[in-house]
Amino acid sequence: MCLTDAPPSGPVSSGSHPVQDQSASSPYQNVNDFISNVNRFKIIESTLREGEQFANAFFDTETKIRIAKALDEFGVDYIELTSPVSSPQSYEDCKTICSLGLKTKVLTHVRCNMEDAKKAVECGVDGVDLVIGTSSFLQKYSHGKSIEMIQKTALEVIEYVKSQGVEVRFSSEDSFRSDLVDLLTLYKAVDKAGVNRVGVADTVGGATPRMVYDLIRTLRGVVSCDIETHFHDDTGCAVANAHSALEAGATHIDTSVLGIGERNGITPLGALMARMVVTAPEYVTKKYNLKALKEVEELVASAVNINIPFNNPITGFCAFTHKAGIHAKAILANPSTYEIIDPALFGLTRYISINSRITGWNAIRSRCEQLGINMTDDEVKEVTAKIKQMADIRPLAIDDTDSILHSYHIELQKKRELQEQQA
């Protein structure tokens, strides 16, 4: 399948992509998956909307501007902002960010009613994301509207937003607990009305990749517009669900930096990049500034007073740390033996731990070379045994291990000098 800088213009649906040219010398034709969008997706980055719902989040205007610029530098396709009707400051912040001249498009997420839509358009956004709950739970306990009333209101608001020359997305909320017939009827109506995207939201994080694939694949056969997806991470499936959605024909994935958001948050930007740089390396490395990921994650982590988790994909401090002796030996010979991702793609380096009882002598030999210490293999094995012996007693820091190496090397030099004198 041909890889491009950006998804093709117009709707992405079955049969909408040209067949890749085949070599005239080959009578065989490749079997292409025209539904999957893993090689041509867009990111709607929602740290400044969903992320504001994170328990620790308070973004002043200056912080919002810094985050917006960092996301723009990373290369996300859209930045989504908190609804301008949420508060007077939210309205002003929305206008401010719209005026920054970012390369990425700016969206705001509002309730599906005319007043909210008008406020959003006033701010100068590139797109308005309309949302309303469609599950029986939300119809009963949130807004009290029937599907028929939702559809009527949606069509009126969509018509207004389109008349203002602004992109429009219509999304159901709690999509996976909504009646399928109601959903498809509603999506078909708004697609016919000319929305740019329809949205599917796993609002409570209960969906599985199979459930996601089934719903998105079914929807792909009903609408011709793009499909945006929003996955909460309450059950730890957000990244897997996002990948499954793309395989089924979704075109846009909502993310937030470090996954921050309501409750456990949504699909993390960095974790999605970790998955997609393996699935579609040429597309991802060409389109996104991967080396900017660490900076944007550190910026957001500082803003919400949290540490980047030790096991965070890509930027966690253990992400590219190798400790077991058998792993270290293989990594030193060929990093791909125990790494699915090259840390250099993200401007990072791997680390071979040499401070434990499971340290291997090959790792110690590599450290000796770094320190300029010359020893035979037998000598390296002997000093490795000393390191293991000490590591059985207490935890070791890198300075401790280096001290053992230097002390052992000094002893070796003294022995060699003595042997030379005796000779």
- Show the CA angle centred on residue 15, arms to residues 9 and 20, nearest 5°: 80
Alpha-carbon Rg for the chain in angstroms: 27
Closest CA to 355 of 318, 384, 319: 384
* C-beta contacts of 185-192 below 8 A and 24+ residues apart: 185/147, 185/151, 186/134, 186/147, 186/150, 186/151, 186/154, 187/219, 187/222, 187/223, 188/222, 188/223, 189/151, 189/154, 189/155, 190/151, 190/154, 190/155, 190/158, 191/222, 191/223, 191/224, 191/225
Q: How far is CA 98 from CA 62, 65, 126, 309, in A?
A: 14, 10, 8, 32
Cβ(149)–Cβ(142) under 8 Å?
A: no
Q: What is the pLDDT of residues 2-59, one digit of tens each?
A: 333 344 334 444 333 444 444 456 667 666 778 999 999 999 999 999 999 999 999 9
What one-letter code names the amino acid at 113? N
In the chain, where the domains are located: 42-303, 321-422
Question: What pTM was estimated for this model as a whole?
Answer: 0.83
Q: Tell me which of 3.40.50.2300, 2.40.50.180, 3.30.360.10, 3.20.20.70 is the CATH number of domain 42-303.
A: 3.20.20.70
Residue-wise pLDDT tens digits, 110-152 = 999 999 999 999 999 999 999 987 777 666 656 667 888 889 9
pLDDT at 6: 40
Catalytic residues, by residue number, are 327
